[in-house]
Amino acid sequence: MKRVSKSQLLKQVGSLSQVAGVRNVEFCSGKAKGVQALEVYNMAGIRFTVLPDKCMDILDLSYKGVNLGFSAKNGIVGNKFFNALGNEFLYNWNAGMLYTCGLANTGAANEDGGLYMTEHGRIGFAPAENFSVSEGWQGEDYSISLSGRMSESMIYGSHLRLTRKITIGLYDKKIVIEDTLENLEPKDEEFMLLYHINFGYPLVEDGAKVIVSKSRTLARTKMSEEDLDHWDDIGKPVDDYPEQVFYHVNDNSTSTASAAVINQERGLGAYISYSADTLPVLVHWKSMRSHDYTIGLEPSNSYIMGRHDERINGTLQTIAGYGQLRYRVEIGVLDGESEINTFKDNI
């Protein structure tokens, strides 16, 4: 997209909403009825939807009309249908471009310390408080940002707050998510956090590849172990094919790590960049099953074993009493061979 000056651009439009902005909508049918959504779009051809009712997660992402994310068969499920028991998560999960997991648990449901830990936690169903949208010129750039905070707490227990800011510029081909996690209790608190970022067709298709920055690659299951030499391959959808999960563990030599899905044939890629000092494990979900066909690249502070087993493994992290931790995740687009090759060289 050719950049023009602020004055040139404004002279050529009646309203800036012609080329960039935020639209506030509400779903009106099915399980999504009543869910608020904000559609964000810009001059670069980026368009995505934020759900303030659901942890300010990102429902979908497209670039110049081409879809990049994965939408689960469940569709959008309103918070009134949330059920923490057993495998109910699989009935309610809408997937999307970004789904936040935690804060008490990521991974399978389990019991820990006499408390029930629901699969992938409760924060993904938490609505934002003090949600706000800001749009405005900053010099020659027009910035759009969405902010809010989500809480997870219990009487006689923990109180964690996640404050989120999502930002994009007028010509940006990237979305920046900046989170601050706060412990509002005097006692140190164990926690788990996972950014479940999901890529889908047509970016994900036979022949596409996954690339990651320098890391140790481990298999989660025996089936994944048997396919460890092909962790980066993406094949065709296969009926009833089991999921595979790999871990890419940061080598501690850098505070930032990256990964991408590259579709060389289409000349298109999508990448993530994240704070590897606070999110040392990249969980790589390879789901080649028909209808559940997706690649998840999921920065995490754990191995998603579930809170009970993570503690036994010695990898359950803690946030200090009244402490703060900061996280940064970037989701962006690689358009054309030049951008793809540059990314590969840098990674």
Mean pLDDT of the region 17-39: 97
Residue 270 pLDDT exceeds 90 = yes
Residue 201 pLDDT exceeds 70 = yes
CB neighbour list of residue 113: distance below 8 Å, 6 or more residues apart: none
| pLDDT-based confidence at residue 86 (cuts at 50, 70, 90) | confident
Compute the distance between CA of residue 169 and CA of residue 326 in angstroms, rounded to an integer. Answer: 22
Structure confidence at residue 253 (pLDDT)? 63
Structure confidence at residue 273 (pLDDT)? 98
Mean pLDDT of the region 134-138: 97
Structure tokens at 27: 């779903």
Mean pLDDT of the region 216-223: 94
Q: Which CATH class is domain 17-346?
A: mainly beta
Mean pLDDT for the chain?
96
SS3 (DSSP) at 193 = strand
What are the C-alpha distances in Å from 197 to residues 294, 300, 322, 332? Answer: 10, 11, 29, 12
Structure tokens at 288: 């080649």
Mean pLDDT of the region 201-219: 97
Structure confidence at residue 85 (pLDDT)? 87
CB atoms within 10 A of CB 264: 13
Residues 83/67, Cβ–Cβ less than 8 Å: no
Q: Are strands 129-138 and 66-67 parallel, antiparallel or unpaired?
A: unpaired
| pLDDT-based confidence at residue 265 (cuts at 50, 70, 90) | very high
All structural domains of the chain with their residue ranges:
17-346
| pLDDT tens-digit map of 47-81 | 999 999 999 999 999 999 999 999 999 999 999 99
Mean pLDDT of the region 334-345: 97
Residue 254 pLDDT exceeds 90 = no
Compute the distance between CA of residue 307 and CA of residue 316 in angstroms, rounded to an integer. Answer: 7
| pLDDT-based confidence at residue 251 (cuts at 50, 70, 90) | confident
Mean pLDDT of the region 150-157: 97
Beta bridge partners of 103: 192
Residue with tokens 């959008």: 76
| pLDDT tens-digit map of 312-336 | 999 999 999 999 999 999 999 999 9
Mean pLDDT of the region 259-282: 97
What percentage of the chain has pLDDT greater than the value 90?
96
Residue 123 pLDDT exceeds 70 = yes
Mean pLDDT of the region 185-209: 98
